[in-house]
């Protein structure tokens, strides 16, 4: 029995479906603030149940643990708007660190054997690239600080209470079903902007990332739940092998809209504290989780362009940030 928080989100929904395919009983939890019901496995399903619950509503999430007694927890729930985190620090901390501690505390109380935490490459901050798992945590924004603190808390709690853990650090995972949000997910921002005939806005010059196709990352995510001593107490990067500039990524998106000639691109100043180069090593994920790139990020871009074109231009999901006028 595996409980997955953030079950209706992009990565969480893929994990839920993947676990069901493997024959596990899955309990999905999500408050639907960022995810969508359409991402979930079709219900009723003999191996899947869903609870619309805010992880910070302690009594409600405790009922879910008590009713289902999960053996493993995937903690995917997160408000992942890193670039906006400096303009909503309280909300970021509430939906990341505090929600995580509620989940971990109840997992310990109900005897969970293992926690798989989906963290973030943001914990590396401004380390040199490629980021290696052995590098110190040096986050530079509230989102990264929250993720780093959550990792550290998980390590300490496991040492005290004796459960297994694996921390995954996915980076720039893209694919069908990713949320269309004004403050996160550059792939859907670019593609939806094109569909809406709005200029592409690129912050900073020469910024480099490595994008990951969810089709390549999913099996490694699923393998992380195995009760294997080789995976216990391991932090593992999972993601793309090929560094690419954000400008080149934008051009790859535009390639799938040949009718959009000479498309306008705005080169804006870099955002506060945004790391210029952020990409990670893959050796550990290849050795422990058998990560390999069968599809690659360009296929993911093509899939997303086809998917969003079929859906049509989407209204932006925009939330007012308390520290942004």
Give tens-digit pLDDT for 14-43.
Answer: 999 999 999 999 999 999 999 999 999 999
The percent of residues in the chain predicted with pLDDT above 90, rounded, is: 96
pLDDT (average), residues 94-99: 98
| Under 8 Å between Cβ of 207 and 213 | no
Q: Give the three-state DSSP class for 115.
A: strand
Tens-place pLDDT, residues 83-93: 999 999 999 99
Before 310, cis peptide (omega within 30)? no
Residue 319 has pLDDT above 90, yes or no: no
Average pLDDT of the chain is 97
User: What are the CA-CA distances from residue 286 to residues 25, 84, 216, 237, 291 (Å)?
Assistant: 27, 32, 11, 10, 4
Whole-number pLDDT of residue 29: 98
| Under 8 Å between Cβ of 7 and 76 | yes
Confirm whether pTM is higher than 0.85.
yes
Cα R_g (the chain), whole angstroms: 19
pLDDT (average), residues 120-139: 97
User: Beta strand 26-30 with 48-52: parallel, antiparallel or unpaired?
Assistant: parallel
Confidence band of 317 (pLDDT split at 50, 70, 90): confident
pLDDT (average), residues 208-222: 98
| Residues in the chain, total | 325
Tokens encoding 134: 């052995």
Whole-number pLDDT of residue 157: 98
> CA nearest 279: which of 249, 221, 240?
240
């Amino acid at each position: 029995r595996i409980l997955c928080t953030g079950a209706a989100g992009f990565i969480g929904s893929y994990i839920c479906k993947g676990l069901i395919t493997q024959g596990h009983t899955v309990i999905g939890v999500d408050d639907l603030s960022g995810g969508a019901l359409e991402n979930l496995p079709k219900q009723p399903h003999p191996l899947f149940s869903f609870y619309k619950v805010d992880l910070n509503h302690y009594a409600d999430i405790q009922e879910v643990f008590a009713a289902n007694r999960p053996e493993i927890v995937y903690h995917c729930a997160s408000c992942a708007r890193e670039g906006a985190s400096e303009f909503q620090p309280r909300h970021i901390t509430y939906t990341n660190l505090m929600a995580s501690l509620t989940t971990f505390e109840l997992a310990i109380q109900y005897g969970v054997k293992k926690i798989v935490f989906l963290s973030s490459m943001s914990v590396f901050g401004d380390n040199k690239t490629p980021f290696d798992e052995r590098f110190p945590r040096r986050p530079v924004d509230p989102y990264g600080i929250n993720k780093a603190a959550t990792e550290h808390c998980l390590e300490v709690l496991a040492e005290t209470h004796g459960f297994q853990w694996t921390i995954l650090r996915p980076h720039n995972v893209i694919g069908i079903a990713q949320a269309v949000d004004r403050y996160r997910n550059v792939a859907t921002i670019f593609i939806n902007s094109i569909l809406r005939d709005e200029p592409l806005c690129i912050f900073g010059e020469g910024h480099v990332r490595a994008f990951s196709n969810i089709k390549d990352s999913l099996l490694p995510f699923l393998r992380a739940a195995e009760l294997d001593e080789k995976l216990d107490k391991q932090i593992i990067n999972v993601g793309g092998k090929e560094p690419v500039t954000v400008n080149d990524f934008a051009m790859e998106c535009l390639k799938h809209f040949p009718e959009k000639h000479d498309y306008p691109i705005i080169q804006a100043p870099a955002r506060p504290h945004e790391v210029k180069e952020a990409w990670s090593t893959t050796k550990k994920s290849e050795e422990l989780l058998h990560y390999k790139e069968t599809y690659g990020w360009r296929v993911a871009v093509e899939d997303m362009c086809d998917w969003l074109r079929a859906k049509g231009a989407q209204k932006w999901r925009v939330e007012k940030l308390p520290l942004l006028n």
